[in-house]
Chain A
Amino acid sequence: MRQLSFILQSRKPVPVQLIAEDLVIERGGRVVIDGLSVAVSEGETLVLSGANGAGKTTLLRAIAGYVRPAAGTIRLDGGDSELTISEQAHVVGHANAVKSSMTVFENAAFWSEYLSGHASDTEQIERALRHFGLEDLVEFPAAYLSAGQRRRLGLARLLLAPRPLWLLDEPTVSLDIASSDRLVAAVNHHTSGGGLAIIATHVPLALERVRTLTIAPRRMAA
């Protein structure tokens, strides 16, 4: 994991903690999350489990700032107070945010430049692509990637700009076992450096310092 430590070493070690209190989230007029309080402390991974439709994605999107909670607060203690939570988080959702008409490298270079706000560092991009096993496809148009390769390119974004909070929504979909292991290694390295991760998944992953939160599906109110 020497590559990874090199990628992430530039981050300042600030103790961060994500705290959600009395969270109520509605989707389409239905209360999906009711009165949830949860804290994720420095270096910890929170795995969200629960049946389909239980509200895992909704909770992640609320933390990412897309969905405004009906009640309750979400805050990131110890982060940069000038920035919102979403500006300090990597969000990997169901879609990969990969442009088919650009090459693998161009996709990564754009996200590196956009998310970090300064000119992209070619070596860092190559290290991130290498970590997810895409080094042979650098000049390859993303249109010809397989589903798993596209997903890996989407995940490579995590290593392109240092951000304390990782929000991953079913990140292992269409990944093979070796690629899942690479993802787990990246997450473990991220948390061992003081980062936080919240992962919604149905697959058991060999994550370290992990806690599981099971979200029970709510019955529709009669």
Chain B
Amino acid sequence: MTSFWALVRRDLRLAVREGGAIGTALGFFLVVVSMMPLGLGPDLNLLARIATGILWIALLLAALLSLNRIFEADYEDGTLDVLATGRLPLELVAAAKALAHWITTGIPLALLAPVLGILLNLDIRSYPILVATTLAGTPAVSFLGAIGAALTVKARRGGLLLALVVLPLYVPTLIFGISTVSATMGPSGMGAAFLILTAISLVAVVLGPIAAAAALRIQLQ
């Protein structure tokens, strides 16, 4: 496990020093959400109704921007070759890198979401639920995203391809993320949708690295 945490710590350090990926994702999130009221007009009721959907979609797109960096930099400078010779299985290498991505991108985006909710007149009672759902849903974003990042690591300008591969995988997270927040306002409560959202994330955390490692093995040939 020393190798695993060494890799996570190194990725966190690189993310902080290089900064670009986090900044781009947060900036994109901010810009997209703040453009919505400008485009839709100042109808506060309309904005409040669609706020959760906008926040979730913008969050997914913002995360997508930073996904390609999960493996690309390591592939280009030869680090991935050496990581593959470690005693750590490639599955755990992928898991460590996805975990670092979640910490550096998923958590900041989840914490920014309620702040941007102000711009969209989001119901004040939804704030804690919004933070809870984005925190519970973003692991799926990073760990499923690792699959797409591993598949497109060799593709020059693979960003668009990555979006096509990964966005369909995000559909369940999106549906249950939004329905959790809207369910809290209705009579049924948030329970079931939130549990399914968490289950999706847990499945992604287990299966994402396995699929990503299989893709990396092909890419290393």
Contact = CB atoms under 8 A, between A and B. Distances in A.
A91 interface: yes
Nearest to A141: B17
B188 interface: no
Contacts of B87: 83, 87, 115, 117
A101 B13 CA distance: 9
A95 B10 contact: no
Contacts of B84: 65-66, 86
Interface residues of B, number: 23
Interface in A89-123: 89-91, 93-99, 101-102, 106, 110-111, 113-115, 117-119
A55 to B, nearest CB: 14
B85 A97 contact: no
A14 to B, nearest CB: 17
B3 A93 contact: no
Given A87-B87, A113-B3, A114-B6, A101 B81 contact: no
A157 B85 CA distance: 12
Contact of B220 (A66, A83, A99, A114): A66
A102 B74 CA distance: 14
B14 interface: yes
Nearest to A115: B86
A83 B221 CA distance: 20
Contacts of A86: 84-85
Contacts of B86: 87, 114-115, 117
Contacts of A115: 3, 82, 85-87
Contacts of B88: 114, 117
Q: Could you say which of A61, A64, A99 has the most chain B C-beta atoms within 10 Å of its C-beta?
A: A99
Given A66-B221, A113-B3, A102 B81 contact: no
A66 B216 CA distance: 10
B77 A117 contact: no
Contacts of B3: 113-115, 117
A101 B17 contact: yes
Nearest to B75: A95
A89 B13 CA distance: 27
A68 interface: yes
Nearest to A163: B85
A9 to B, nearest CB: 21
B2 A97 contact: no
B85 A119 contact: no
Interface of A: 61, 64-68, 83, 86-87, 89-91, 93-99, 101-102, 106, 110-111, 113-115, 117-119, 154, 157
Given A94-B78, A114-B83, 19 more contacts: A64-B81, A64-B85, A66-B81, A67-B221, A68-B221, A86-B85, A91-B81, A95-B76, A96-B78, A97-B78, A99-B77, A101-B18, A110-B6, A114-B7, A115-B82, A115-B85, A115-B86, A117-B2, A117-B87
Interface of B: 2-3, 6-7, 10, 13-14, 17-18, 76-79, 81-88, 220-221
24 contacts: A65-B84, A66-B221, A67-B221, A83-B87, A86-B85, A87-B85, A90-B85, A95-B76, A95-B81, A97-B82, A102-B10, A102-B14, A102-B17, A110-B6, A110-B10, A113-B2, A114-B6, A114-B7, A115-B3, A115-B85, A115-B87, A117-B3, A117-B88, A157-B82
